[in-house]
Amino acid sequence: MNAQTRIDINVAERHPRQKLVVVGNGMAGCRAVEEILARDAGRYSVTILGAEPRVNYNRIMLSPVLAGEKTFEDIVINDTAWYADNGIALVTGDPVVAIDRAGKRVTTRSGHLQPYDKLILATGSDPFIIPVPGNDLAGVVTFRDLDDVDRMLKAAERGGDAVVIGGGLLGLEAAHGLALRGMTVTVVHLMPTLMERQLDEAAGWLLRQELERRGHTILTGANTRAILGSDGHVAAVELEDGRRIPADIVVMAAGIRPSIALARNAGITCERGIVVDDNMVTSDPSVLAVGECVQHRGLCYGLVAPLWDMCRALAGYLTDSPAPYQGSVTSTKLKVSGIDLFSAGDFASGEGCEDIVMRDAARGVYKRLVLKDDRIIGTVLYGDTADGNWYFELLRKGEDVAALRAGLIFGQAFANGSALADPNAAVAALSDDAEICGCNGVSKGQVVGCINSGAHSLDAVRAGCKASASCGSCTPLVESLLALTLGGAVESGPKTLCKCTSFTHDDVRRLIMERQLKHLPQVMQELHWSTPDGCSTCRPALNYYLLCAWPGEYVDDQASRFVNERLHANIQKDGTYSVVPRMWGGITNPRELRAIADVVEKYNAPMVKVTGGQRIDIFGIRKEDLPAVWADLNAAGMVSGHAYGKALRTVKTCVGSDWCRFGTQDSTGLGVKIEKMTWGSWMPHKFKIAVSGCPRNCAEATIKDFGVVCVDSGYELHIGGNGGIKVRVTDLLCKVATEKEALDMCAAFIQLYREDAHYLERTAPWVARRGLDWVKAQLLDDPDAVTRLARRFRYSQSFSQNDPWAARVAGERRDLHAHLAEVRPMQLEDAQ
């Protein structure tokens, strides 16, 4: 025995190995032990206590096991030989139930007492079970361990319907695996966007489209009310809206929570997780914690990458080689076969942030980088994730990317290439036969030839050679060719909808119909929006265009509406709101007046005013009282007056022939009919109507968007008036003989305006832009035009007048739906 061995023996005798106990045989616990052994293999006598009756395995690979792509043996990280080779005592299937900090020992469920000098808690996380009736039925499972997978596999053997509650990463992986096993899968997700913590709206929509294409049913914005059973086994999931989804198995994947009960019961400081310092030490210096169970600097991590950093910090501390943990920047890749998706960092786009977005609709690609102070702080990639790791490294290191800015979105190869010096250089280097516009097969030479022939604007190029006239993905290339060919002589074309797109209002409306675009994210992807979610200019416009194009199919996006429209109230300078209930044709009755008086008193409204539109405006209502105010008014049969919306505002009337000695027709009765026909219709801008009972025009019909002047022989119909800052007198559209003709022409004119005008364009500038002759031709030249337009308008009204804020009296709604039974088939034919 040499001297060195004797020294080692003497040292060992003076310093016997400390007892290190690890609670948790999962990825965090075993990785922590691996890191300790790598630094000082002889320092501790290690015992690992695991709740599961098996060795350590890769929990994040459970999805491939469920999908049939791997077996349990394929995902084992540390087999039995590893424990034996490293002298580790392993206890499985016997979870720890108590910690005696004073006595420094833990107790397992079987009663086994295990002493420790240092204790590592790696208890992981617990699945969140949503608190609804039926959540304890047989057939309701979670997705956290191999036992859960076995339960799902047994259910899949019988086939049938599976419902996955939760559209996050884990839920989608469970859905994918069960679908591959032959089950019919429905994903129920509370939030409007799948994987909302990792994806923005655009990427979430693309993911949903792909999953639906694979046969999954995806229900977003869906809240589970109860899980229904039969003979003690799950049978269906009931949603808040009353829908029932058949289910032979329900997978709860609604989230996870750090498993802290053991630590908290022992008096260790816990908040959301077990609170640790940078060395992963808890409030008890003899107890450390690592993994999903911990809270570090206020954050809990549910992904595997931070786990490795934590384990290194813990091992460094326990082996006197400290390397404090500073927190982690996380990234996510979806493990569903065939879907390329990458997400990292913060993509909430706060103040001072800049978005760089690239979309390729043909390939289903969406890329977004979020920059702040010339540094990447977030990225979302869908369809092409090849540069994900590069972006993540730039993000993690906080690299200044100002020098790479011009080519950054195109990836590492392009950003570091020669094209960087001049963004147009790559286009200039293209050969003349290089394809510029794939949709229309237009080469660079053809585009340049078109430009040299006099097409000095983007719109002129589109008209001349069709480049950029279809999907728009080649628009930047065409713009570069314009700049290269003409220098500073490029003509500005028609004003685009907003800064997010090169398309005009007319382009967008046309393409929505031509391409059957029926969702906001779909429009932005297909038309290559340069921002991830649009802006305050384009979102309301797109929301309106989709509502107008697809009544009954498109779901109104309340988040894309102005606040006054969302709340059905006008915000005032003091932060309170004014509320205007509708009074049909300016007529009221004691019941309505009492309801208004009651609201004024109940909510302490400081002022009540009669408006110029013959209604009553209640001022000074607090925002939090608005739902209750409308509930009280609805109970009295009063609906929203839309005094704040891009919609019908008022129908002003005079008393007409019923009372006035000059009246020629029943102007009040016609006004009420027009208002009941048109109220609640969303339009490009506010819309006002008036009906005057005689040419004396007391209702001021000749400065309204649509005006009716009653005469002895019928009704003169006027359009395009404006009584605002710039007064415009109406143009005479036509004269009709009957009330029905007046109603039909009103509906037809409104629908023509709804379908053709730009968002936020009043009828006065619209008529001026289009020309009176054009409007007349659309309505009067074809004898069936009014009927078609009026039918389309009334069909759309069946949905817009069903607004829950402004619900109709039941009898009126029944009458409307009876009418629609006749109208709807013809409308659908018209739409084709």
- Write down how long the chain is: 832
Q: Any idea which residue has 């059905």 for tokens?
A: 568
User: Rounded distance, CA 325 to CA 329, Å?
Assistant: 12
pLDDT band at 336 (very low <50, low <70, confident <90, very high): low
Tokens of 370: 């979020």
Angle between helices 505-514 and 538-549 (to 10 degrees): 40
The number of beta carbons lying within 10 Å of the beta carbon of residue 223 is 13
Burial group, residue 487, by CB count within 10 angstroms (0-12, 13-18, 19+): exposed
3-class DSSP state for residue 381?
Answer: strand
User: Rounded distance, CA 606 to CA 594, Å?
Assistant: 17
Are 528 and 562 contacting, i.e. CB atoms less than 8 angstroms apart? no
Q: What is the pLDDT of residue 456?
A: 85
Q: Tell which residue, 68, 231, 230, 246, has the closest CA to residue 163.
A: 246
User: Rounded distance, CA 692 to CA 700, Å?
Assistant: 7
Q: Which helix (H) or strand (E) holds 766?
A: helix 763-770
- Is 50 exceeded by the pLDDT of residue 809? no
User: Rounded distance, CA 457 to CA 10, Å?
Assistant: 88
- Is 70 exceeded by the pLDDT of residue 22? yes
Are 544 and 759 contacting, i.e. CB atoms less than 8 angstroms apart? yes
- Is 50 exceeded by the pLDDT of residue 804? no
Are 125 and 145 contacting, i.e. CB atoms less than 8 angstroms apart? no
Are 185 and 162 contacting, i.e. CB atoms less than 8 angstroms apart? yes
Burial group, residue 379, by CB count within 10 angstroms (0-12, 13-18, 19+): buried
CA dihedral over 663, 666, 669, 670, signed as positive or negative? negative
Identify residue 222 by its one-letter amino acid code.
Answer: A
Tokens of 810: 């039941």
| Lowest mean pLDDT segment, chosen from 95-109, 324-338, 417-431 | 417-431
Q: What is the pLDDT of residue 422?
A: 55
User: Rounded distance, CA 185 to CA 188, Å?
Assistant: 10
Q: Any idea which residue has 């038309």 for tokens?
A: 527
Q: Tell which residue, 37, 56, 34, has the closest CA to residue 308.
A: 34
Q: What is the pLDDT of residue 817?
A: 35
- Is 50 exceeded by the pLDDT of residue 808? no
- Is 90 exceeded by the pLDDT of residue 601? yes
- Is 60 exceeded by the pLDDT of residue 419? no
Identify residue 7 by its one-letter amino acid code.
Answer: I
More confident residue, 231 or 351: 231
Cα-based angle 162, 164, 166 (whole degrees, multiple of 5):
175
Tokens of 507: 């382009």
User: Rounded distance, CA 400 to CA 371, Å?
Assistant: 10
Q: Please state whether beta strands 105-108 and 113-115 pair in parallel, antiparallel, or not at all (unpaired).
A: antiparallel
Are 554 and 547 contacting, i.e. CB atoms less than 8 angstroms apart? yes
- Is 50 exceeded by the pLDDT of residue 116? yes
Q: What is the pLDDT of residue 822?
A: 35
More confident residue, 562 or 47: 47
φ/ψ region of 307 (left if φ > 0, alpha if ψ in -120 to 50, else beta) reads: alpha
pLDDT band at 397 (very low <50, low <70, confident <90, very high): confident
Are 542 and 508 contacting, i.e. CB atoms less than 8 angstroms apart? yes
- Is 80 exceeded by the pLDDT of residue 821? no
Q: Tell which residue, 95, 77, 72, has the closest CA to residue 32.
A: 77
Q: Tell which residue, 60, 83, 79, has the closest CA to residue 70.
A: 60
Are 364 and 383 contacting, i.e. CB atoms less than 8 angstroms apart? yes
The rounded Cα 130 to chain-centroid distance in angstroms is: 22
- Is 80 exceeded by the pLDDT of residue 435? no
Q: Tell which residue, 712, 676, 705, has the closest CA to residue 690.
A: 705
Mean pLDDT of the chain: 87
User: Rounded distance, CA 502 to CA 643, Å?
Assistant: 33
| Local structure of residue 780 (DSSP, 8 states) | I
| pLDDT (tens digit per residue) in 343-379 | 988 877 778 899 999 888 878 899 999 999 999 999 9
pLDDT band at 754 (very low <50, low <70, confident <90, very high): very high
Q: What is the pLDDT of residue 13?
A: 38
| pLDDT (tens digit per residue) in 562-575 | 888 888 888 888 88
Are 4 and 30 contacting, i.e. CB atoms less than 8 angstroms apart? no
Q: What is the pLDDT of residue 464?
A: 86
Q: Which helix (H) or strand (E) holds 376?
A: strand 375-382
User: Rounded distance, CA 327 to CA 4, Å?
Assistant: 41
Q: What is the pLDDT of residue 473?
A: 60
Q: Any idea which residue has 């269906």 for tokens?
A: 236
| pLDDT (tens digit per residue) in 281-317 | 999 999 999 999 999 999 999 877 789 899 999 999 9
Please list, in sequence order, all residues whose beta carbon lies within 8 angstroms of the beta carbon of residue 649, skipping any fewer than 6 positions away. 613, 641, 642, 643, 686, 687, 688
Identify residue 482 by its one-letter amino acid code.
Answer: L
Please list, in sequence order, all residues whose beta carbon lies within 8 angstroms of the beta carbon of residue 634, skipping any fewer than 6 positions away. 806, 807
Kindly write down the DSSP assignment for every residue of 698-714, as one continuous string: TT-GGGSSEEEEEETTE
Tokens of 37: 């052994």
Read off the pTM.
0.72
User: Rounded distance, CA 203 to CA 190, Å?
Assistant: 17
Q: What is the dihedral of CA 145, 148, 154, 160, to 10 degrees?
A: -130
Q: Tell which residue, 377, 384, 484, 468, has the closest CA to residue 426.
A: 484
Q: Any idea which residue has 């972006």 for tokens?
A: 391
Q: What is the pLDDT of residue 725?
A: 78
Tokens of 816: 């409307």
pLDDT band at 420 (very low <50, low <70, confident <90, very high): very low
Percent of the chain with pLDDT over 90: 62
The number of beta carbons lying within 10 Å of the beta carbon of residue 486 is 15
pLDDT band at 830 (very low <50, low <70, confident <90, very high): very low
| pLDDT (tens digit per residue) in 242-256 | 999 999 999 999 989
The number of beta carbons lying within 10 Å of the beta carbon of residue 470 is 16
| pLDDT (tens digit per residue) in 135-164 | 999 999 999 999 999 999 999 999 999 999
Kindly write down the DSSP assignment for every residue of 708-732, as one continuous string: EEEETTEEEEEE--B-SSS-BPPEE
Phi and psi for 346 in degrees, rounded to 5?
-105, 120
| Partners of 525 in the β-ladder | none
| Local structure of residue 274 (DSSP, 8 states) | E
3-state helix, strand, coil in the chain (%, to 5): 40, 20, 40
Q: Tell which residue, 90, 93, 94, has the closest CA to residue 110.
A: 94
More confident residue, 640 or 474: 640
Q: What is the pLDDT of residue 823?
A: 34
CA dihedral over 521, 524, 525, 530, signed as positive or negative? negative
The number of beta carbons lying within 10 Å of the beta carbon of residue 432 is 11
User: Rounded distance, CA 177 to CA 102, Å?
Assistant: 47
| pLDDT (tens digit per residue) in 179-227 | 999 999 999 999 999 998 889 999 999 999 999 998 999 999 999 999 9
Phi and psi for 490 in degrees, rounded to 5?
-70, 130
Angle between helices 739-756 and 763-770 (to 10 degrees): 80
pLDDT band at 340 (very low <50, low <70, confident <90, very high): confident
Q: Tell which residue, 671, 678, 675, has the closest CA to residue 700.
A: 671
Average pLDDT over residues 614-621: 90
Domains and CATH numbers, the chain: 3-125+258-318 (3.50.50.60), 129-254 (3.50.50.60), 340-421 (3.30.390.30), 564-635 (3.90.480.10), 649-831 (3.30.413.10)
User: Rounded distance, CA 232 to CA 139, Å?
Assistant: 9
